[in-house]
Structure 1
Amino acid sequence: MKIVSMHIYGYGQLENIKIDSLSDFQVFFGENEAGKSTLMSFINSILFGFPTKQQNELRYEPKHSTRYGGNIRIYHEKHGYAVIERVKGKAAGDVKVVLDSGKVGGEELLSDLLGNFDKSLYQAIFSFNLQGLQNIHQMKGEDLGRFLFSAGTLGTEKLAKTELELQKELDMRFKPGGRKPILNEKLQKVHEISQDLKKAAAKLKDYESLIQKRDQLQQEMAEINKQLENRNIQAEKLKEWKRIESIAKEEKWTKKELETLGEIEFPVRGLERLEKLNQLILPLEAELKSLSERIRHVREELGELNPDCDLLKEEQVILTLLDQIPLYEQLSVEKGQYETKLTAVQTELAAIKEKLHLPLNEEEIQSINTNISMKNEVVNLSRQGEKLADVKEELDILHQQELNELEALEREVRLTESLCLPEIERSQLEQQLRNHDKTALEEELNNLKEQIQFNQLSIEQQKAANEKLRFQFITIELILVILSLYGMISKQWVLLLIGLAGCLILGFFMFQSLKNGKEIKILNNLNKLREKEKQIIEILQTASYQDIRSLEEKLKLDDQHRNKLQILKLKLKQQKANYKKIIVKFEEWESDFANYTEKLLSIGKELKIPEQMANTLLLEAFEQIEQYKAFIREKNQLIERISNIHQKQVKLMEELSHYGYRYLSEETLDIHKISYLLRNKLKTENEKRIKMEERKAKIADLESEYQQKEKEWQSLKIEHDRLLNEANAETVSQFYELGEEAEKRADLMKRLENLKRQLQYSILSEQERENFLAIRNCDELISDCQKEIDSLRNQWKELQEEQSRVQYEIQIIEDGGIYSDILHHYKQKKYELEEMAKEWGVYALAQNILAKTIEKYKNKHLPLLLSKAEEFLSFLTNGNYHRIHLHPSGSGFLVERKDQTLFEADELSQATTEQLYVSIRLALMVTIYQNYKFPIVIDDSFVNFDAKRTKLVFKLLHKLKQNQILFFTCHEHLLSFFPNENILRLEKGAVQIVS
């Protein structure tokens, strides 16, 4: 899976950020707080959900935006391109996955794309950060080996931590031969209580017989309690019967009366229903009579209306024609406008034809080709003619300029040749000059001048040094004078002597050092050099040397003339070449002009214009022909439109006249009069039709109402007859008699229900009430039952006193031996021991399962992982360490150096340990999880490496082609290892590509 692009709607400080075209090895560079952690969290949140408020992670909700979330576009080897979008919604956000194939899904489709990985597993396998390397620096001994082994299995230190925590929990609970662990203490306590329990059991000889007697007394008391309960129930029932006796007897009488009346079939509320039906039937009969009379009256009004149906059938057609009357007027106006335009177009045609003055008719001009291609040729040809004319004019100017310059150069060459000395004369002058050594004297003169200048500079430097030395002597002299004065004033004679002696000594040295011996020597030497310079100048100014100077000047002047002549000849040669180029361009122009003339004549012939016009006015003639053809087309269109308008007007007039002749009495009317009369006629007939339809609708409503009322009357009549049938009454009076008997029966039933409600709360059942009806003296039975209850209570009291005595003796025995307390304490401690043992067993089982899992992993997956890790470690260490072995006594590793020396993890240097950690983590990705090609996220994991190690680790990462790598860093010196197109710079919520 590869992340192609990201769009962040709002996430922390990142708002509306788009990152496109991510590379296979993408670097994100930014200083602290630039947004690197935010961007890493955004990728995890889109793939696995926003952190919930219960999780100890930042949610990065934006402060200045309401949109929270974004989308990531990925490429999946199985599903192709897909867009994963997650926005604010439920706790982890609402996710939407859209494949390029059109499939849309949610969490299930996303889980399929991610291979059911969760966030913690992804970060453990495919995420690097400084925390893993810092853990290496903090560990020592066997813990470091366990951590590296855990990193090779789960990607994190969880396995090592889990293994240590399990062993810690087991040791805290139990150790063989130990005393402080909890289980060891519990076992010792249970053993001690068991010894005390055995001693207390020896004192229980009389205890068992007392226990048996106590149980027997409890059984006898239970039997008496049962008898008491039965007698109490019997007494309660007798008292209840005494309370409800009158109600039960009235219930029995009411049942007999109902049996006497028997069953009566009479409708429920029959009398009331019959009265209501009679109140509804009589008004309905009156309404039916009134509706019948109204229907007859409306039918008479309908017969008086008789609209013209033929006219109304053609109403829509006539109205359409009448609506076209304004169109008739508009057509007349348009016809006049078109006729005016036609006159103007004909005038233009005549003017253009006069301009062209071609012996052609309209059909011949129409046949001339003036399409876009021809127009393009004419325009291009016209432009070509203008261009050729411009080129000709420019060539004429250039030709004259080049010719003038050529002639000027030739004149100047001839003049310069005349100024040069003949070869014989020049040879003689050179021979004379060679006979006099003037150059040596001039060189000697130059050397003298340089020496004089040097001596002058030395004198100036010597003067400056003397001034500086004099200033120093004066300063020291002043200090010594002050010291002498101070000694004299303070009468310290030693200081006075020292000051005076110093002044004398310093004065002597000052006198010696400031003598101008060196300066005088330099001045003498300078005078000698100036004298010699004067002598050489006098020699050079003699007559013989003046002649030599004249010779030199002549030769020098001749050299200048010869150099100038050589330059002029070169310019002349170049100018001749330029002139020839102008001639060649003239020839090219003549060739182009000939081709142009040929094309011009060909197109003029095709356009049917004379040759003279084609040469001078081709474009104007073409435009006039094109305009003439356009006016001809416009003229034909105008003529056609005028004809169409005339036909429409004639057709409309004929149709209106037809309908006027059919439906109007007047004849020979104009179109406006016909239109007015037809509209009035249609209005009148429509009013008749509307009235007729209103009367028909009224009749239909009245008939519908009549039918409805008639149905109601029939329904009420049927209900009336049915009431009589339900009561089996032939007359209304017989119905009323049956109703009175039904009301009496209903009253009895109501009374019976009331009695039953009173009896339903009684404890006596119906059968028990029937049995109690035979009792004559209820109070006597109640008294006898009460006597039996008192007797049973006395017996129970005697047994209770005996039971208390026996229980007291048992209590004495139990208090004396404390047996029950010891037994209870023993069972409690034994239970606690069993629960603690179960808890220890859970941890022991977990440790066993973990050990078996590790062993299985060692045998199945670890060999392949170690092989790949050895390859990576050898590459990172330049072959210094090439083998990784499992530790024989634990879950750590042994690393073999190239000299076959074995090292435990804590014996390696920190940098080598980090390289081992990186090798194991990368090997875990490309072996065990090779089918899951997720992006690898690295957060500044190599900042502790030196330049050589850093270069090697990046070179190794570039070899992992199957996984995209996203590298986040704040160290600018690491950017030199990557091309600029692979670097994105993060700057406070913005992203830019490094160029």
Structure 2
Amino acid sequence: MRIKSVHIDGFGKWVDQDFSLAVNPQVIYGENEAGKTTLAVFIRSILFGFANAKRKNRFQQYRPRTTAAYGGSLLVEADGQQYRITRTAGRDGGRVTVTDQRGQQFGQEKLAALLGNVDLDLYQAIFGIRQADLARISDLSREDVQRQLQQVGAVDSGEWRQLVAELLKKGDEVFKPRGRKPTLNQHLTEYQDLQQRIQQARGKYDDYQRLLKTRGAAQEQMKTGQAELKKAQARQNDLERLARLWPVFQQWRRGQDSSRAELISDEQVAAADRLGIQEQELRRQIKSQEAELAQLNGRLSQFDQAQLNDYHDHLAEYQEMRGQLLQLAARDDQQRQQGRFQEHRAQEKKQLQERYGQVPPQPLSERELTQLEQLRKAPAPLANQGIILALLAFGGLLCLFGLASQHGGLRNLGLLLVIAAGGWGYYGYRQEKQQLARRDAALVSFGRAHGLSRFSPDQWLTMQADLHRYAELSNQLSNSALGAGQSHEQLLTIKRRLAGKVSGEHAGELARNLLAWENRWADQWRSWQAIRQQLERAQRQLTALKSQLREVQNDKWAIYQSAGVNSDVDFARFLQQRARAHQQQVTTAVYDQQLTDEDKVALARFTDETALKREWERLSDRVAREQATLGAAHRQEQAAEVEIRGLAADGTLPELEQRAANLAARIWQEARRWTTYQLTAQWINQALILASADRYPAIIKAAEEFFATLTNQRYTKILLNEEGVAVLTAGQERFAVEELSTGTAEQLYVALRLGFISVMSDQVSLPIIIDDGFVNFDYLRKERVLAILTRLARHNQVLYFTADHRARQLTGVIDLERLDSE
């Protein structure tokens, strides 16, 4: 299957967006947050369904933030036909529709057929490569590869696996290792109870225990003898096979003795030539970069470093002084504008001094004014003055009425009232006179206290406005003189601090000159900074070039060491010797193919064919002895068994043994049925493995080729077994995956994945999606892996998502950054 184009209605950041996947491999470039992973997840979601909203899966839904429709479609080509796969929001991963070229629509069954019944987990395990997956190499084993082969390589493996599950389920209904309800478990428990009862019944026989020991010893001897016989017979068979291979081994060993093994491959020779060319080019670039560094250092030395440091370290101080100068200039302008007002104020102050003296009194405060107003008020008249007048009038009337009526009592009462009212009035007059005296004394004291004695009390209130004006004029004239003095002193201080850098007569001129001085040194500082950045960039480039040179030299010397040479001249001489030895090695290789490594090791233990025959004869004698010993032990065990049965004569023991025998027969039938289920399931699993087992060596071989290319022929063989993964170098040095560097371990994982894909492409050919899978690869290794992906693109579509900016230079790349800006 190949994806021709992608249309997104709404998925994450992409809304109503189309992508044409015209080239293969197809490189999709974008920085972080550009939408690479969103596009990759969209393709997987259309093929296998949207993620649900449970737990962490909600972060994989990528629902659009806008009101756009959720989902989209893929235009794919499979088996020469084009189909449009459309998926929209819905249950169970969304509603999916497959439309062919004639417009006929299908459902999930058609999509499963196009995918070769591959589910999402199997697709991710084979065709999806992400940076997070590369760390799983240490957990990979031979069973993992065989299981994936079984799922992909066998026809209708899904139905067979379902049958295996049903067989195992039926087997569990019969027996479970730790179960109690299955029938066989119950019968075994019952059988154990019967055996205990039989043992109790047999306890009455004196010789029973002795016979049991004798039979047990014979059975143990038989068991040991059978194991020893089996090992001896297996060893005898191996020796017979080695005897047949001895002539081939002799021919192979002669070839080993007369020819020199090839130490390095043709690819390593070509790699050494390429590395030599790269070394020359890197030396030329380093020389050019060092010349540029010398030029930049010369330009940098032309600057006055002390002045630049002074400018940069005290820039804030200079800017502050320039602000102060601007304030002083503004203050000078203000003082010049207010000069004529100062003259008017001085004249007005002089007039007030002429009116109130050279040093007029201080103006009164609000509290003092209130006190003065209270003192100036006239004393309040007596409150009972009206009563006194009324009493006088009433007493006079009584007196007149008594005289007129010749009434002595009224006349006397009238006189008493008049006398009393007169005395009361006189007393009030004296009190009022005393109050006026006290007020005048208080006014005199108030005048002396506030400097007003030489003025009439009537003027004290009216002159307060003039006194306040006089104080205001004095304050303004004093502040003006003080401000002018402070400005002059501040200007002198700034001039002293700027001496030798900036000069000027007045504050405005000095501020302008300081600004020009700052701008001039700011330009020099920026120029100095630019040269420094160029110098640092050139230094980094030089360091990188030297690092690349060391890496190239290390790779070249690694090849030289593999060849056993130490110089370019020695390597050239080695290549001549290698060509002569190659012809001899071809003949030896023919014999080498007929022997396994284990055969070579086993045959090398014998000095000649005679020693091999002697070992075979010795084992034959041993086999005969073991068989005789086994026969004797079997006869002893049978005799003991006959005696044990003969002891059961009372009838109870035979009844128990009969029940046990009947139950044993039932257990035997149930065990046969359980074993049938288990063996059938194992046979099906083994058949599925055998159906695809012939591909396993091809996968390992392809992975070894890819791994050798990625590591520049440093590692040539991959060992995959139950314990994990290991590799062999060109010098046959073994490394477990835990001993490899992170980058090399990731390359090994990529090689195994790509080897699996390349071999299984005839069974299932689905797009390979690589989402930033080679972050830890350097530039040369990325070039190698791109070459491998180009090779895989012959059979599989390759979609490579990357943030490496150098990918923009490739042909047909989809630039998500440019697409997003548009």
Where on the TM-score scale, by shorter chain, does this alignment land: which range? 0.3 to 0.5
Task: Return the index of the structure with the highest Cα Rg.
Answer: 1
The normalised TM-score by structure 2 is 0.35
The normalised TM-score by structure 1 is 0.30
